Amino acid sequence: MLRAAALEKILLISALALANQAHAQTRQETDEEEGQRMQAEQQAIANRVLTHGEVCPDPKNPCLDMGSFHENELSFKLKSKFNFDRGRDQSLPFYALILRSGELCKMPEEDRLTLQKVFPTRKVFLHRHFCEGFSDKATYTNINRKVGFIAVYAGKTEAEAKQFLAEVKAAGAFPDANLRRMQVQLVNQLE
């Protein structure tokens, strides 16, 4: 009788241990599923792009939300404040005249300032995405993001941009200049 009671006790302890192990495994699987769900939600937010308004091509009148843009970036009108709800903000499309390209982070601000004097009514801007840490968050669509460049706003329409290109080429200063249709993109920090 004592043996049967001891055997029964051992079986009960074994059953409880197996139940605890199964519960712990279920909890671990639930935690992993929750982590995967949260990661998927964060990725969905990071992939969300909100298109805003037009760029502000007049260097004397940049868009009012200058807290989001550096002096060497082409600003655009923001519809709504960033609230950790999207990965990128972007402007409406426009045309830029790429004047010179080179190694990313090696295009000097002094060159941009000199060229801004050549084009006083059109914003001259640099591509320096993340060259100054996370504060350089502007980049552009339809470009090689590993290359830096100096560009000038060429117009809202293709016709306007082609006319500007013809004027610049006729002056002979930038024989390799080329047009590019693009949008400004601000990459938002989600963490």
- Answer yes or no: do 12 and 97 share one domain: no
- Answer yes or no: do 114 and 43 share one domain: no
Would strands 88-90 and 184-187 be described as parallel, antiparallel, or unpaired?
antiparallel
Which one has a higher pLDDT value, 168 or 68?
A: 168
Model confidence at 120, in pLDDT bands (50, 70, 90)? very high
- Answer yes or no: do 23 and 95 share one domain: no
Tokens of 80: 């709504």
* pLDDT at position 49 over 80: no
Contact 116, 180 (CB under 8 A): no
**CA dist., res. 75 & res. 91, Å (int):** 8
Domain span at 8 = 1-47
Model confidence at 18, in pLDDT bands (50, 70, 90)? low
Taken as a whole, the chain contains a residue count of 191
Q: What share of the chain is helix, strand, coil (3-state, %, to 5)?
A: 40, 25, 40
- Answer yes or no: do 115 and 133 share one domain: yes
Q: For the chain, how many structural domains are there in total?
A: 2
- Answer yes or no: do 41 and 66 share one domain: no
User: Could you give the C-alpha distances from 59 to 17, 117, 145, 147, 155, in angstroms and in order?
Assistant: 73, 10, 24, 24, 14
Q: Could you tell me the maximum CA-CA distance found in the chain, to the nearest angstrom?
A: 110
pTM tops 0.85: no
Which one has a higher pLDDT value, 15 or 186?
A: 186
* pLDDT at position 96 over 60: yes
Q: What is the pLDDT of residue 85?
A: 72
- Answer yes or no: do 36 and 53 share one domain: no
- Answer yes or no: do 176 and 95 share one domain: yes
Contact 12, 18 (CB under 8 A): no
- Answer yes or no: do 31 and 43 share one domain: yes
- Answer yes or no: do 34 and 102 share one domain: no
- Answer yes or no: do 162 and 177 share one domain: yes
**CA dist., res. 89 & res. 69, Å (int):** 12
What average pLDDT does the segment 29-48 reach? 72
- Answer yes or no: do 72 and 4 share one domain: no
Which of 31, 47, 63 is at the close of a domain? 47
- Answer yes or no: do 128 and 180 share one domain: yes
Q: What is the pLDDT of residue 37?
A: 76
Nearest to 173 by CA among 105, 94, 117: 117
Residue written as token pair 């084009």: 119
Tokens of 36: 């995967």
Would strands 49-51 and 88-90 be described as parallel, antiparallel, or unpaired?
parallel
